[in-house]
Amino acid sequence: MKIFKQSDTLNQLPDQFFSNLVKKVVTLSKQYDDVINLGQGNPDQPTPPAIVEKLQQAAENPLYHKYSPFEGFSFLKEAVAEYYQREYGVELDPYEEVAVLNGTKTGLVEVSQCLLNPGDGVLMPDPGYPDYWSGVALAKAKMIPLKLLEENQFLPVFSELKKEDLQSAKMMFLNYPNNPTGATATPNFFNEVIKVADEHHICVVHDFAYGAIGYDGKRPISFLQNDGAKDVGIEMMTLSKTFNMAGWRVGFAVGNRSVIKAIELLQDHYYCSIFGGIQEAAAHALLNEQDSIQELVAMYEARRNVLVKEALKIGWEVIAPKGSFFAWFKVPKPFTSEQFADILLKQAHIVVAPGVGFGQYGEGYVRIGLLTDENILKEAIDRMKKLNIFH
């Protein structure tokens, strides 16, 4: 068999962090039947029944057995606009300011290819979601770290950036509620982002994947709720987390018209849009399924409270996340994040994500998912206690 060399572009892609993590889980699970996987971000609850039923009904519609419109069905774009108006008071033109995405993972990679040229700078949250890096690599652009530190509530401090970095930056990725830190943003912070972006002609890409998941009675805010946000950027949202539709692969981008136009142009060359039945079910979710969201957030908050309480009991000094379905806990001394994750993996059969996998400034932390039952979270902490590494 002939072996064909991969392109230089493929060889320049960063290692797929989550793919490697999955391989570790699979290998360990073949050896042991008691593995507790807290390392991934795959929702553990089923999609609400009404959404599933809508898909089942829609699948019989012969209209959807043909190619979907390249830009997606109008009814889904209109549902997105209605959702934003109802939930955030943000007005959107469904035909000019909404792009349908095959999941936001795809959109977050595509947007770099839409706007960046080789050598352009990108302000990148560190720690941050590793898939942002993939699009930047494909565009042959360069990453400029935005340090997210605990002492700054995991918000970047723009005054610390070099003048030349701001001048070379063409794009800025942000993500609140944040993966991996669980931090949330404030209106004042977003106003500062808009000011910096406007002054330096930087396109802001706000990943709002966990937009529905906030705790202690505080609801996360949308970037677009702030004056001037649509002038300088877009927001991407997915139905994966809000409605437990991770496998359905449906999301959307909203905001600046020129960026939405660029995304739709690129997608015209990549694929037709999502199966129409899924689009109809997604529209139903956005317009009708708000009770299920409240129940989901209450469940995650209860899990968060159990995890934090049990961790504190064993002497692990932790801070409760404000949003998302992740906890970001400091590793005990003297371990690195990878050393600690390996100890948990090998000695306690617990999978967590080492913080260094999210960037240089993720070192010293591990990310723990709230994506399993409360009793399993308790069991995980109990196993950690038996390792006698917390003081």
pLDDT in tens, 26-37: 887 788 788 899
pLDDT at site 21: 73
Distance CA 287, CA 141 (A): 38
Q: What is the mean pLDDT of residues 162-177?
A: 96
Q: Pairing between strand 353-354 and 233-238?
A: unpaired
The pLDDT-based confidence of 297 (bands split at 50, 70, 90) is very high
pLDDT at site 10: 86
Phi/psi class of residue 249: alpha, beta or left (left: φ > 0; alpha: ψ in -120 to 50)? left
The pLDDT-based confidence of 19 (bands split at 50, 70, 90) is confident
Neighbouring C-beta atoms of residue 212, cutoff 10 Å: 22
Domains, the chain, in order of start with CATH, read 15-44+291-385 (3.90.1150.10), 49-288 (3.40.640.10)
Distance CA 9, CA 134 (A): 11
pLDDT in tens, 180-220: 999 999 999 999 999 999 999 999 999 999 999 999 999 99
Percent of the chain with pLDDT over 90: 86
pLDDT in tens, 94-139: 999 999 999 999 999 999 999 999 999 999 999 999 889 999 999 9
pLDDT in tens, 339-391: 999 999 999 999 999 999 999 999 999 999 999 999 999 999 999 999 999 87
- Which tokens sit at 131? 């898939």
The pLDDT-based confidence of 258 (bands split at 50, 70, 90) is very high
151 pLDDT more than 90: yes
Cα atoms in the Cβ-side hemisphere of radius 13 Å centred on 132? 26
Distance CA 96, CA 108 (A): 19
pLDDT at site 61: 96
pLDDT at site 390: 86
25 pLDDT more than 80: no
Question: Using N-to-C axis directions, what is the helix angle for 49-58 and 276-288, rounded to 10°?
Answer: 150
Q: What is the mean pLDDT of residues 298-318?
A: 96
